[in-house]
Structure 1
Amino acid sequence: MTRPTYYKALNWAFLLLKEKNLDEQAAEYLLLERQKWTKTDLIFHEREIMVPAVWQQFQTDVQELLTGRPAQYILGQAWFYDLQLQVTPATLIPRPETEFLVAWLLENVPTSTTPKILDLGTGSGAIALAIKHELPNSEVWATDLSEAALQVAQANAQRLALPIHFAQGDLLQAVAGEKFDLIISNPPYISHDEEAVMDYSVKHFEPQLALYADNRGLALYQQLAQTVAAHLKTGGQLFLEFGYQQAPAIREIYQQALPTATITIKKDLAGWPRMARIQLPD
Structure 2
Amino acid sequence: MKLRELEEYYQLELAPVYHAEEGAAMFGLAAEQVLGLSPLKLRMEKENVLSDINLQKMLTILNELKMHKPIQHILGQAHFYGAVYKVTEDVLIPRPETEELVDWVVNDYSTHKELNILDIGTGSGCIPISLKRHLPAAKVGSIDISEKALIVARENAHTLNAGIEFIHADILEYDTEEKFDIITSNPPYIRNLEKKAMHQNVLDHEPHTALFVPDENPLLFYKSIADFAKKTLNNSGVVYFEINEYLGKETVDMLMKRGFSNVELRKDMQGKDRMIKASL
TM-score bracket, shorter-length normalisation: over 0.9
The Cα of 1:177 is off from its aligned counterpart by 1.5
Residues 193 and 216 in structure 1, CA contact (< 8 A), matched pair in contact too: no
The alignment status of 1:256 with 2:253, answered yes or no, reads no
When structure 1 is superposed on structure 2, of 78-87 and 15-24 the one drifting more is: 15-24
Q: Which residue pairs with 2:3 in the alignment?
A: 6
1:59-98 matches, cutoff 5 A: 59-98=59-98
1:80-119 matches, cutoff 5 A: 80-109=80-109, 112-119=112-119
Structure 1 residue runs of 5 or longer lacking an equivalent are none
1:240-251 matches, cutoff 5 A: 240-251=241-252
Q: Which residue pairs with 1:188 in the alignment?
A: 188
1:29-48 matches, cutoff 5 A: 29-48=29-48
Q: Which residue pairs with 1:24 in the alignment?
A: 23
Distance of 1:220 and 1:159 partners within structure 2: 30
The C-alpha deviation readout for 1:38-61, integer Å capped at 9, x for no partner, is: 121112221111011110100100
> Which one-letter code corresponds to 1:159 in the other structure?
T
Distance of 1:172 and 1:238 partners within structure 2: 17
Structure 2 residue runs of 5 or longer lacking an equivalent are none
Distance of 1:33 and 1:97 partners within structure 2: 23
Residues 245 and 274 in structure 2, CA contact (< 8 A), matched pair in contact too: yes
Distance of 1:174 and 1:155 partners within structure 2: 24
Residues 192 and 217 in structure 1, CA contact (< 8 A), matched pair in contact too: no
When structure 1 is superposed on structure 2, of 212-221 and 65-74 the one drifting more is: 212-221
> Which one-letter code corresponds to 1:126 in the other structure?
C
Distance of 2:75 and 2:88 partners within structure 1: 9
Distance of 1:173 and 1:236 partners within structure 2: 21
TM-score under structure 1 normalisation?
0.93
CA RMSD of aligned residues (A): 1.5
Distance of 2:160 and 2:33 partners within structure 1: 19
Distance of 1:19 and 1:268 partners within structure 2: 28
> Which one-letter code corresponds to 2:85 in the other structure?
L
Distance of 1:274 and 1:223 partners within structure 2: 19
Q: Which residue pairs with 1:161 in the alignment?
A: 161
TM-score under structure 2 normalisation?
0.94
Residues 78 and 87 in structure 1, CA contact (< 8 A), matched pair in contact too: yes
Residues 190 and 216 in structure 1, CA contact (< 8 A), matched pair in contact too: no
Q: Which residue pairs with 2:209 in the alignment?
A: 209
Residues 262 and 278 in structure 1, CA contact (< 8 A), matched pair in contact too: yes
Distance of 1:175 and 1:78 partners within structure 2: 32
When structure 1 is superposed on structure 2, of 147-156 and 30-39 the one drifting more is: 30-39
Distance of 2:77 and 2:278 partners within structure 1: 32
Number of paired residues? Answer: 276
The Cα of 1:174 is off from its aligned counterpart by 4.4
> Which one-letter code corresponds to 1:18 in the other structure?
A
Is the partner of 1:165 in helix, strand or coil? Answer: strand
The Cα of 1:160 is off from its aligned counterpart by 1.2
CA gap of 1:59–1:147, structure 2 versus 1, over 3 A, is same
Identity across aligned pairs (percent)?
A: 32
CA gap of 1:110–1:54, structure 2 versus 1, over 3 A, is closer
Distance of 2:54 and 2:38 partners within structure 1: 16
Distance of 2:219 and 2:80 partners within structure 1: 26
